Amino acid sequence: MITEVDHYGLDLLHDPNLNKGTAFTQKERKLLGLEGLLPPHISTMNEQVERVMAGLRGKPTDLEKHIFLIGLQERNRTLFYRVVIDHLEEIMPLIYTPTVGLACQEYAHIFRRPQGIYITERDAGNIRQILNNWKDDDVRVIVVTDGERILGLGDLGASGMGIPVGKLSLYTACAGIAPRNTLPITIDVGTNNDRNLNDGLYLGLHKERTRGEAYDAIIDEFVQAVKDRFPNALLQFEDFGNQNAFRLLKKYRKQLPTFNDDIQGTAAVTVAGIFSAMRLTPEPLADQKILFLGAGEAGIGIGELMVAALVEGGMDEAEAKQRCWFFDSRGLVVSSRDNLQAHKLLFAHDAPFITDFVEAIDYLKPTAIVGVSGQPKTFTEPVVRKMAEINPNPIVFALSNPTSKSECSAEEAYTWSEGRAIFASGSPFPTFNYQGQTFVPGQANNSYVFPGIGLGVLVSEAEQVTDEMFLAAARTLANLVEESDLAQGRIFPPLDTIRDISAVIAAEVARVAVKQGIARANLPANLVEYIRDTMYEPVYQEYA
């Protein structure tokens, strides 16, 4: 492809979308006024990738590696995505969980260049104009956060921008959505994090969070501005606090294509893990009983999707809800408790109020425990041993992110269960050898599903993102797990196949949209092949 550009010399080198660095040919250097501005050797992209990886692997810490990669993204976007795609399993933990959590905590101290759009409560009445300042008109995917619940780290305020940036990097790397079609946004309404408020370098508003009607007015103005400025965009809510996440999803999900990945994406990948685990356990899906440690966005979202899966299998909804139990910071969620939040009431069952998690396991006899608490080391040795006592193959999902918040490690789960646990975590753990058997821990990473779901919504031009799409994604992902994966204890496919996974999930999501009558696009019969052909591939343009 030969492209004419009106950028010359240093301007071209400073545009991350056009810059090729040392890969500019001699002809391009002469035509574009680049002679003398680059070292004389003309590099191939493969050479550049090799140089990047050598520099990356020489960094002493994961945070330094994160900074190095973000610097590359800000200089040469094409090369950045080539590196990520070619080395996905190595790079993903550095640009997203677990390293992105530390990067957000240190955001004010490692900030280099702005990425995306910042909107504050001071911009009320002017949000539409602020969106106009983004010069790419064809935005198709927006990830927005207000920074209140960043991973398991809590309120990081404006420093949460690393999350939308990281998520959108995965949309591009995992699902082939072009970088120019993505936009990260942070809405800053203050922070209740004392560390931020007392840090003179903090880059957000130095005030406590705005709540109530003023907060709602800003979110509403923002959503309406998105609908007007980017009418073809999918809006993904990310890392909002519990008190806002559920109600904002309910309020806006029929107004435009939108979803909350913490609620729905986590649910899809976790239910996919349950489906896969069924191939390793004697109990069918209808006999599963899940006890969740944590009753926030992730847990309730998983519970609701699990109920949908059981109902689809023929179970009555009331009975299906009895298969999902929750244990929060006070104890077992039961109907006798006072002042339960609305989302917890859905799963408040008649039972004794138990405040000890091991006792709750002994009483309920669950086949699976799912940690979504953000509280590290809460799946203790007595917890895992109790699960192994009552189950031949206990399902132990320690999903809290980052790694420092994980309820237990893979090594602990396998050791304490004597090698019988079916384990998955939110952040990656290394392979583990137990008595001669090598286990490859499953990572219940949302990147398995949200990029493909988003791609399917865009391909079908779906008017909404429905619950059925997430259940279809869960079943599709589980079906892609090979017997060879299961033999190693891995209940998710290898991450290096993620672009193929995303294409297949996108096709299923698009078919759901067609079936539900909410697809506006005319889709071809060879849908998976069509989707693969439309994916962004990071290759350099030729300039003349």
| Residues designated as active site | 96, 167
Look at strands 117-120 and 182-188 and give their pairing: parallel
CB proximity list for 103: less than 8 A, separation 6 or greater: 63, 66, 67, 70, 110, 162
The first and second tokens of residue 262, run together, are 């913490």
CA angle 204, 108, 142 (to 5 degrees): 65
Strand order through the sheet with 117-120: 117-120, 182-188, 141-145, 234-237, 258-260
C-alpha 91/C-alpha 89 separation (Å) is: 6
Give whole-number Cα distances, 175 to 136, 137, 179, 260, 377, in Å.
Answer: 20, 20, 11, 18, 34
Burial 357-383 (b: 16+ CB within 10 A, else e): beebbeebebbbbbbbbbbbebbeeeb
Give whole-number Cα distances, 364 to 140, 173, 177, 288, in Å.
Answer: 45, 42, 44, 11
C-alpha 499/C-alpha 447 separation (Å) is: 10
C-alpha 99/C-alpha 61 separation (Å) is: 10
CA nearest 261: which of 115, 444, 514, 134? 444
> 315 with 286: CB under 8 angstroms?
yes
Look up residue 451 and give its DSSP letter. H
